[in-house]
A and B are shown apart, each in its own frame.
Chain A
Amino acid sequence: MTELATPRPPRREFRNINALTDLPSYRLPPAGLVSILHRISGVLMFLLMPFIIWMFDASVSSEISFAKFKAVFNSGFSFVPGFLVKLVALALIWAYLHHFCAGLRHLWMDVSHSAVNKEFGKTSALAVLAISILLTVVLGLKLFGAY
């Protein structure tokens, strides 16, 4: 084997992506954004499940527990201020709305072949983002007592 007169340029290497250095620079299309947010909202609700059941428990068990439930939202408990409890509840409201809308989008695409194309994928993804964020804002204003 003879050596090449001019050395070849180094080949490009493709490796697994790094979550911390590569993911922030990825620009996701709306459908991709809805998809990853579907996951994030699901995991969020999974982790906060005890808080959700505590809310259910306190709000339906008795008059006294119902009053305590309201007090936690208005004036907090131990070192956690009330607005932080409301903020967590608002995060859950967004997570539920997004998961709900994105789930309906999934079901729609499962039953309708005509819905499985690039255009519908984009417009329906934008609709999911818009509806869930809009309803979150409306319910958030109600939660923080704007009306």
Chain B
Amino acid sequence: MAVNYGSKRTVVGAHYGMRDWLSQRVTGVLMALFTIILLAQVIFSKGPIGYDKWAGIFASQWMKVLTFTVIASLLYHVWVGMRDVWMDYVQPVAIRLVLQIFTIVWLVGCAGWAIQVLWRV
């Protein structure tokens, strides 16, 4: 394998950051589609929306799988976005590391909670 560390480390050039850029687009599209699917189910349901109709949307297995995928997508999308924000505005490495760790803990915690709620329906 070609050496790509030390003095041979690639710091600029093709594909640098491409993966994160592309995954943010793909996860964004997925979440946008989910928004439209969820809104369609709310808008095209007949009568006022009470607990039964609202919880019923998340009861079917395909909607659970879709929502789970969206939660996972959200996790990665927000990680890339927040990491960009910290990289742009926080220069001291120690503070940036602490904020990145906080971001990971915050996001993984939120994702876990959301997934737990999803399978409670």
Contacts and interface: CB of A to CB of B under 8 A. Distances in A.
Interface of A: 39, 42-43, 45-46, 49-50, 53, 56-57, 59-63, 66-67, 100, 103-104, 106-107, 110
B51 interface: yes
B81 A56 contact: no
A83 B101 CA distance: 34
Contacts of B82: 42-43, 46
Contact of B32 (A45, A59, A103): A103
Contacts of A60: 54-55, 58, 117, 120-121
B35 interface: yes
A50 B50 CA distance: 23
Contact of B81 (A42, A100, A110): A42
Given A60-B121, A100-B35, A49 B110 contact: yes
Contacts of A104: 32
Contacts of B54: 59-60, 66
| Majority SS at the chain A contact face | helix
Nearest to B35: A100
Contacts, number: 56
B120 A103 contact: no
A66 B51 contact: yes
A94 to B, nearest CB: 15
Contacts of B81: 42, 46
B96 to A, nearest CB: 15
A107 B25 CA distance: 7
Contacts of A110: 25
B29 interface: yes
Contact of B117 (A39, A61, A63, A67): A61
Contacts of A57: 113, 117
Contacts of B110: 49-50, 53
A39 B85 contact: yes
Contact of A100 (B32, B85, B107, B120): B32
Interface string B13-56: 00000000000010011001001000000000000001100110
B114 interface: yes
Given A46-B78, A60-B55, A53 B85 contact: no
B51 to A, nearest CB: 4
A42 B80 CA distance: 11
20 contacts: A39-B85, A42-B78, A42-B81, A43-B82, A43-B85, A45-B78, A49-B106, A49-B110, A53-B113, A53-B114, A56-B114, A57-B113, A59-B51, A59-B54, A59-B55, A61-B121, A103-B28, A103-B32, A106-B25, A107-B28
